[in-house]
Amino acid sequence: MNAPDSRLRQTLKALAPFALALAIWFAPIPEGLTREAWHLFAIFAAAIFSVIINAFPLLTAALLAGAFAVLSETVDPGKVFAGFANQSVLLVVIAFLVAQAVVKCGLGRRIALCVVALFGRSTLGLAYSIFLTDALIAPGFPSNTARGGVLFPIILSLAQGAGSRPEEESGRRLGGYLMFCGMASLSVSSALWLTATSANPIGVSLAAEKGLQVNFGTWLLVASVPALCAIALLPIFLYRVFPPGVTATPDAPHAARAALREMGPLARDEWITAIIFGLMIFAWIFAGTFNLSLAGVAIAGLGLLLAFGVLTLDDIYLQGSTLATFLWLAVLFALSGQLNEMGFMGYVGERLAFMLAGLAWPAAYVVLLLLYVAMHYMFVSQSAQVLALLGVFLDVGVKTGVPVSLMAFALLFASSYFSTLTPQGGSQNVIFVASGYLTQGELYRLGLLTTVFCTLVFLLIGTPWVLWVG
């Protein structure tokens, strides 16, 4: 494609969301909806659509949506800006900053190398090392992308150390297997911990509107059995559907131990980070018992890391991506909440419930979950889908008789494990896709198989467990 054609295509893509907004805005308002609710839907739908077609980054889409909502007097400014004071939004942003300490001091890399040193004598052992490492560091990393940044260089060195190169057809499958294990581990570990991805606190806030109160400990209890089963089974499943060719990697533990020797003993900053990190996890687990604020715990942890000099103000200043996350998350969270408050979500839910009328709640539960997962083909952001759809699907499930805890947790967990469905299904995927070890066809095939596998695990194992403990 030549440059003029490319520019024309990009221009048309940028104009498409505005065209959609105008088309919805001036379309007849459905009976039962207010003018404000319909106009806010036009703005919100256009923002989400722009992200789906990659016309604008999520931040740009969110800022434009918030501005139009205020300037058109569709939503009161105070309600749009209320998202900046929301505890769930603050938790995500502060935890992002705390995660920088784990990366900066080298603690994340040390944990990964220790796990490889213990379990890395075979290809399957390396896979389990990746899953275990990610599960251990996930509660302090509310970003799959950030954890991917920790895991990727280690996975790449493991693949290359075993002689696997992306340009060599006969030897690339080992690297491809390990790279996809990295993608899969990020999706499943995010379902295990409340603070492992920004989408989780958003979903919890939406579930709270239905009366379901979820804290760190509750999430961990409910997620533990299905998520740990998925972590235990996925490396073997992927080993079967995408054989790596090489079965033994006897040099990997030696290489990991050599790297650990180079790092030397735990440095001061690693000790401090490990202690503060551990205290934060403890406080999050027992937040409900001691009536602690999750965001308050995160702020305290960040303050201590700054006080001890593990993080500096310069480190904070450099986190432009964190500021971007804060801005788009606060705006879209507020707009999503207003759609619900204005009755739009209830309106859509009623129509969807009508379509499912007559189904027993177990059937409705399965249909809603499968539909929710399948719709991720249209999204490039987990958080965007949670904001756009989770509240609606939860409301419909509750109206058809599905227990609120079951429907909520099913949707919350799916919002993590469906990220592997497509190469663009999560920003973290890009890190591994760019390695060149996997073709587009392999990525889509493995993504579908992995998502189907996780859906079955969480349905067959997670459903009875949630009904028992939830």
The SS3 call for residue 33 is coil
Half-sphere exposure of 320 (CA within 13 A, CB side): 1
The SS3 call for residue 48 is helix
Query: Quick count: other Cβ atoms within 10 Å of Cβ 320?
Result: 8
Query: Quick count: other Cβ atoms within 10 Å of Cβ 282?
Result: 12
Between vectors from CA 257 to CA 253 and to CA 258, what angle results, nearest 5°?
115
- Name the least confident of 56-70, 285-299, 410-424: 285-299
Determine the residue type at 306: L
- Express each pLDDT in 177-212 by its tens digit: 999 999 999 999 999 999 888 889 889 988 998 888
- Express each pLDDT in 214-265 by its tens digit: 988 899 999 999 999 999 999 999 999 999 877 777 777 888 888 889 999 9
Between vectors from CA 303 to CA 302 and to CA 309, what angle results, nearest 5°?
90
Q: Across 321-369, where does the E strand assignment appear?
A: none
The SS3 call for residue 463 is helix
Percent of all residues in the chain with a pLDDT value above 70, rounded to a whole number: 94
Q: Which two tokens stand for residue 221?
A: 């209890």
Q: Measure the CA–CA gap between 290 and 298, rounded to whole angstroms.
A: 15
Q: Once rounded to an integer, what is the mean pLDDT over residues 120-146?
A: 82
Q: Measure the CA–CA gap between 13 and 288, rounded to whole angstroms.
A: 47
Q: Measure the CA–CA gap between 152 and 174, rounded to whole angstroms.
A: 14
Determine the residue type at 318: L
Q: Which two tokens stand for residue 422?
A: 């497509």
Q: Measure the CA–CA gap between 377 and 382, rounded to whole angstroms.
A: 11
Query: Quick count: other Cβ atoms within 10 Å of Cβ 279?
Result: 14
The SS3 call for residue 242 is coil
Nearest to 402 by CA among 469, 335, 345, 353: 353
The SS3 call for residue 196 is coil
pTM as predicted: 0.74
CA 350 from chain centre, in angstroms, equals 28
Q: Which two tokens stand for residue 16?
A: 């498409």
